């Protein structure tokens, strides 16, 4: 049994059980409210259109990544508490494939959140040529962030003593990374705060989106801001695959199996 088979089974369970649809329904309500209050000002000019699209897109990406992280944080610890992990471990499937399959299944929720976001961005950007570029940018950066944080969520889920602890730690992690992006005016200027932004995968990824959408920068101009999201994805995925026998266990911990 390969990671693809595990991913297909996990995705079916996630969507047919109603967990993913309910999460996306709540997500759509939030994005609807944000879009309404952003678009209610009828005096928007061209620059404000860009800022409205950028603001809504950043919130949508942040919350979409949050939903993905919640799903992945339940991946191992949740199965332990529900008593279903033992059955999964008895199947002839490598533990690396279990983790990778769960990662891919969690990402299906992010892609669902992106699909929900499309019409809202289309409405806000009506008459602005940046809509298609904004959506492609959101898909690219959002997928990078969602994959990296979903992998981190699986790591947390694997070593946590319980599902509540896993969810709490994962939510705290994302809020700590996302909060600096919502400060009025962003972080203060200066080399120190620029280093902090670049070291924060969420802040750097969303800052890159803002530079392209609002600043009008070329996609290739500020690629340095994507180093930390790529590093997070590479590091978390490497740990998942290398330590999979120690992570996927009936009891939490990373002791040798």
Does 117 fall in a domain?
A: yes
Number of domains comprising the chain? 1
pLDDT attached to residue 240: 87
pLDDT attached to residue 250: 62
Per DSSP, helices labelled H in 125-226 are: 131-159, 163-178, 191-199, 201-213
pLDDT attached to residue 75: 81
- Cβ atoms of residues 207 and 181 within 8 Å: yes
pLDDT averaged per 10 residues in sequence order, the chain, 257 residues: 81 90 94 84 60 87 91 85 76 84 93 94 77 90 94 88 85 81 61 77 89 84 90 92 76 52
Does 254 fall in a domain?
A: no
Q: How far, in Å, CA of 149 to CA of 165, rounded? A: 16
Does 226 fall in a domain?
A: yes
* Residue 37 burial class via C-beta count within 10 angstroms: exposed 0-12, middle 13-18, buried 19 and up: exposed
pLDDT attached to residue 148: 93
pLDDT attached to residue 2: 78
Instruction: Print the domain residue range for 98.
Output: 3-247
Does 116 fall in a domain?
A: yes
Q: How far, in Å, CA of 89 to CA of 249, rounded? A: 8
* Residue 28 burial class via C-beta count within 10 angstroms: exposed 0-12, middle 13-18, buried 19 and up: middle
CA distances from 52 to 17, 22, 218 (A): 35, 27, 20
Does 100 fall in a domain?
A: yes
The pTM assigned to this predicted structure is 0.86
Does 218 fall in a domain?
A: yes
- Cβ atoms of residues 125 and 51 within 8 Å: no
Q: What angle do CA 161, 167, 171 make, to 5 degrees?
A: 135
Does 184 fall in a domain?
A: yes
């Amino acid at each position: 049994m390969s990671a693809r088979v595990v991913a297909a089974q996990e995705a079916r369970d996630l969507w047919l059980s109603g967990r993913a649809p309910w999460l996306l329904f709540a997500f759509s309500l939030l994005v609807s409210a944000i879009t309404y209050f952003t678009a209610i000002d009828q005096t928007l000019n061209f620059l404000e259109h860009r800022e409205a699209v950028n603001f809504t897109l950043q919130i949508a990406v942040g919350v979409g990544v949050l939903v993905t992280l919640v799903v992945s944080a339940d991946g191992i610890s949740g199965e332990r508490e529900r008593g279903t992990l033992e059955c999964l471990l008895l199947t002839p499937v490598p533990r690396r494939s279990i983790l990778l399959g769960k990662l891919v299944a969690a990402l299906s929720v992010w892609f669902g959140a992106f699909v929900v976001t499309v019409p809202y961005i289309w409405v806000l950007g009506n008459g602005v040529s940046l809509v298609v570029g904004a959506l492609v940018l959101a898909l690219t950066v959002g997928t990078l962030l969602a994959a990296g944080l979903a992998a981190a969520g699986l790591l947390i889920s694997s070593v946590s003593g319980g599902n509540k602890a896993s969810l709490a730690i994962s939510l705290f992690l994302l809020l700590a990374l996302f909060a600096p992006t919502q400060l009025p005016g962003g972080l203060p200027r200066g080399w120190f705060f620029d280093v902090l932004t670049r070291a924060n995968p969420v802040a750097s990824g969303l800052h890159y989106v803002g530079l392209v959408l609002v600043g009008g920068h070329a996609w290739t101009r500020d690629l340095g801001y994507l180093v930390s999201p790529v590093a997070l994805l590479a590091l978390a995925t490497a740990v998942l695959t290398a330590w999979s026998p120690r992570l996927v266990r009936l009891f939490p911990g990373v002791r040798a199996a």
